[in-house]
Amino acid sequence: MQQGSSDSTNEHLTSKNRNKYILGMAYFYVLLFIGLIGYMCYFMMYQSNEYLNSTYNKRLDKLSESVTRGSILASDGSTLADTTVNRDKSVTRNYPYKNQFAQVVGYSTRGQTGIEAITNYTLLNTSEDTWSKIKKQIFDEPIYGNSVVTTLNPKIQKIVYDAMGDKKGACVVMEPSTGRILAMVSKPDYNPNKINQIYDELVSDNKNSNLVNRATRGQYSPGSTFKIVTLLEYIKENPDTYEDFSYNCTGSITYEGKTVKCSHGAHGVVNLKQAFAKSCNGAFITMGLSLNMRSFRKTAKTLLFNDSIPFEISSKQSSFDLTSKSSDWDIMQTVFGQGKTLVTPLHNALILSAIANGGVLMKPYVVESIQSPSGKEVDKVLPETYKTLMSPKEAEILKEYMVYCVNRGTGKVVKTKKYQAAAKTGSAETKSTSEANAWFVSFAPADEAKVVVSVVLEEAGAGGENAGPIAKKVFDALLVD
Ligand SMILES: [Zn+2]
């Protein structure tokens, strides 16, 4: 009885174990299956385009043999790049705007860059219907790939391109409410129609780096445009008392044996708003030395410093170097935009966009829609929220200070009765040259901003006088004419 009972218990246990085992295996396979499905979804959603667009993907080489590369169009429908098939069946890639869109549109015959790179698969894939494909094959006509319609506005691109003249630098024009990039100019440039002839020479020219898109990959010292970040941190750390700030500027500040000058002489007694609008280095250094470096680093990170920039076209990160171990001299330099901080013109445009958009950054984008070769829309990109960079209240305060900078400070070059702009100037000293890099970051109209302009001109001097007029021309074209 005892024995029997024990046997039956054992049997019961064994069968229980077996059931457990089977159940375990079932769970395992179900999880494996879910994992597989999950990965496939992830791949389709996020990585497939990357894979398909990869220059290592051999399938694209095959596609390019049967499909003629599609066109890249501007937002007004004009052609930024297209391909003609010559009599001998060879193909020529044409860029009607020549140098103007060089880096942002890119090239496709010596590897791919710019929009040519990010839409490589789309341009070589066709949504042409089967019947017309067959017809074209019978009559030996080229089958074109799909076209890409971009957000780029040729009128604005030309205004910026002309206004920058022969200065090196970059400019990004962006719509803060959507993230659409309206213009992206980088100088010096090149003529993409001649890329095969000039490529080797351009690649070896490290001094000018014409092939580099300085808007997304140019890392510049931010100069006083960085005072926006320092100001934000000061307001965050002193939410109830920041308006009580006062500083008596004598034209320079000395701390522990190191002296920093103000570029416009003595500012006298300034409150926080005046210190920002007049770009008083002494006031910002005084504020900066009071800041909590861990908190400052966190704020910089939230503003996308030391982080990847959410843009389809290859972009460099901006860097912010202060930590709780930084020396006072490093802090003094960094808070007014010198020191080791580096920022790209695109990144500055994103910070401004968030300020203009109540603290919310919309994901910047340059591809608006995909069209079949016959012009039918087959896909459309919709604006997408990327991240909240600051609270609506903080954005409102920064905006108010930037408006004051236009009305009563260094940003007066964009002051007009026709619209109210908000701006910050910067003149970033570089070690190698005597003239500073001129920065001007701005948006307009201050309330319900339609456009952000971020511009840097290398070795051009003061930001307001030299880079400011470019923003003014863009605002006039978009908001007045
Ligand atoms: Zn000062």
Query: 45 pLDDT exceeds 60?
Result: no
What is the per-residue pLDDT for 434? 72
Q: How far is the C-alpha of 377 from the C-alpha of 369, rounded, in Å?
A: 7
- Which residue from 224, 478, 431, 210 is spatially nearest to 348, judged by alpha carbons? 224
Residue 37 confidence (pLDDT): 66
Please give the distance, rounded to the nearest whole angstrom, from the Cα atom of residue 236 to the centre of ligand 1.
23
How much distance in Å is there from the Cα of 274 to the middle of ligand 1? 10
Lowest mean pLDDT among 31-35, 67-71, 289-293: 31-35
Residue-wise pLDDT tens digits, 104-161: 999 999 999 999 999 999 999 999 888 888 888 888 889 999 999 999 999 999 999 9
pLDDT score recorded for residue 24:
78
Chain segment 230-265, per-residue pLDDT in tens:
999 999 999 999 999 999 999 999 998 999 999 878
Contact present, 322 and 334 (Cβ < 8 Å): yes
pLDDT at 2: 42
Rounded-to-integer distance, Cα 449 and Cα 420, Å: 10
Ligand 1 geometric centre to CA of 284 (Å): 9
Convert the pLDDT of each residue in 197-238 to its tens digit. Answer: 999 999 999 899 999 999 999 999 999 999 999 999 999 999
**Number of CB atoms found within 10 A of residue 375's CB:** 10
Segment 384-399, tens digit of pLDDT: 999 999 999 999 999 9
Q: Is the peptide bond before 188 cis (omega within 30 degrees of 0)?
A: yes
Which of the two residues, 58 and 344, has the higher pLDDT score? 344
Q: What does the pLDDT read at residue 5?
A: 45
Q: pLDDT digit string (tens) for 149-165?
A: 999 999 999 999 999 99
CATH superfamily of 153-358+388-481: DD-peptidase/beta-lactamase superfamily (3.40.710.10)
Q: Pairing relation of β-strands 268-271 and 246-249? A: antiparallel
Distance 13 CA to ligand 1 centre (A): 84
> In angstroms, what is the span from residue 354 Cα to ligand 1's centroid?
28
In this predicted structure, the answer to whether residue 52 has a pLDDT above a threshold of 60 is: no
What does the pLDDT read at residue 3?
42
| pLDDT surpasses 90 at 8 | no
Distance 227 CA to ligand 1 centre (A): 13
Instruction: Determine the angle formed by the axes of helices 345-356 and 227-237, rounding to 10 degrees.
Output: 40
Q: How far is the CA of 250 from the centre of ligand 1 (A)?
A: 7
CA of 280 to the centre of ligand 1 (A): 4
pLDDT on residue 18: 75
Residues 67, 312: Cα–Cα separation, whole Å: 24
User: Does the structure show a pLDDT above 70 at 277?
Assistant: yes
pTM of the full structure: 0.87
pLDDT band at 22 (very low <50, low <70, confident <90, very high): confident
| Per-residue pLDDT band at 55 (split at 50, 70, 90) | low
- Phi and psi torsions of 277, nearest 5°: -65, -35
pLDDT in tens, 319-342: 999 999 999 999 999 999 999 999
What pairs with residue 440 in β-bridges?
425, 455
Give me the residues near ligand 1 (ion), CB cutoff below 5 Å.
249, 262, 267, 280, 282
Identity of the amino acid at 66? S
> Is the pLDDT reported for residue 278 higher than 70?
yes
CA dihedral 23, 27, 32, 34 (to 10 degrees): 140
Centroid of ligand 1 to alpha carbon of 285 (angstroms): 10
| Residues 225/228/229/234 CA torsion (nearest 10 deg) | 140
